[in-house]
Amino acid sequence: MTSQRNISEFILLGLSYDQSIQIFCFVIFLLCYVALLAGNLLTLISIRCSPLFHQSMYYFLIHISLIDICYTSTVTPKLIGDLLVERKTISYDNCMLQVFTMHFFGGIEIFILTAMAFDRYAAICKPLHYVVIMNRTRCNLLVLAAWAGGAIHAFPLFSTAIGLPFCGPNEIDHYFCDIFPLLKVACTDTYITGVPVIALSGMVILVTFIVLSVSYGRRKALSTCWSHITVAIYIFGPVAFIYLRPPITLPEDKIFALFYTIIAPLFSSLIYTQRNSEMKKAMRKVWCPSVFSKEACN
């Protein structure tokens, strides 16, 4: 289908029409975004400047922190800025770019989380062969595969969005551009178009969920990998609610979207750092070397 449109921008209806609620959300989301950037940058630099960088789990964690920053930055700055203006608009080109980057970086994060689950499975269930199994070459290949998987996931959704005809209205009942809200405002029957979108997104979610379940399914794994499991629940729960259902939009979608665009990236850095003694030790060594040296001497 050839894309036909007579609009150059979309109007985002945002989270709320109440001005006081918008101001409150502006303050909260701004603080969350600053904390998210600071936490992930702190994690990234601390691992890179410590011996933990040579361990596969923390090597993956560096990529998770980087992707979290990229992923949330595709939506959150725009959301924060829109909370201060009455008319929230986004150009057609930026809207399509947002669809691609959201699913591209989101797909990469899901696949890296899956790689981390495989890493933990190898460490717990194959301890004698762990160093051989998770060598740096294999880690690099897994990260490369995650980026390729993110692209494979995002391009069909992007192609679907860019192929939709738009002839008005151009109001999107969301705070960012996503495939389901765009299907709702397209001037064509989108049911057939929506089915492949569900099939693709659902397949990615189900496959990664099965891999995570197998990796963490053992009692020993569950008792030692709660940080990974918690982060996976924060991400997969809201994503499954939105994408594992018929191609419709619900009022609750915007609330659930906040979990995987802002809350999950924010808490992932906190969970990985505050529940990990090695990470705390590395951060103290990198950022407070004099204090760490005194503690070591004592």
Q: For residue range 175-203, what is the model confidence (pLDDT) as tens digits?
A: 999 888 888 888 877 777 766 776 777 67
* Domain extents in the chain: 10-287
Cis amide leading into 289 (omega within 30)? no
Give the pLDDT confidence score for residue 297 in this predicted structure. 46
Whether the per-residue pLDDT at 126 is higher than 60: the answer is yes
CATH 1.20.1070.10, applies to 10-287: yes
Instruction: Categorize the per-residue pLDDT at 131 as very low, low, confident or very high, splitting at 50, 70 and 90.
Output: confident
Give the pLDDT confidence score for residue 29 in this predicted structure. 94
| Mean pLDDT score across all residues of the chain | 81
What average pLDDT does this structure show over 146-157?
A: 90
Q: Tell me which residue of 147, 139, 140 sits closest to 67, measured CA to CA.
A: 147
CA distance 206 to 227: 21
Give the pLDDT confidence score for residue 276 in this predicted structure. 66
Give the pLDDT confidence score for residue 198 in this predicted structure. 67
Give the pLDDT confidence score for residue 7 in this predicted structure. 81
What average pLDDT does this structure show over 158-174?
A: 86
Entry pTM = 0.84
Tell me the two tokens of residue 74. Answer: 């595709």
Whether the per-residue pLDDT at 292 is higher than 60: the answer is no
Q: Is the dihedral of CA 286, 287, 290, 296 positive or negative?
A: negative
Give the pLDDT confidence score for residue 1 in this predicted structure. 42
Whether the per-residue pLDDT at 153 is higher than 90: the answer is no
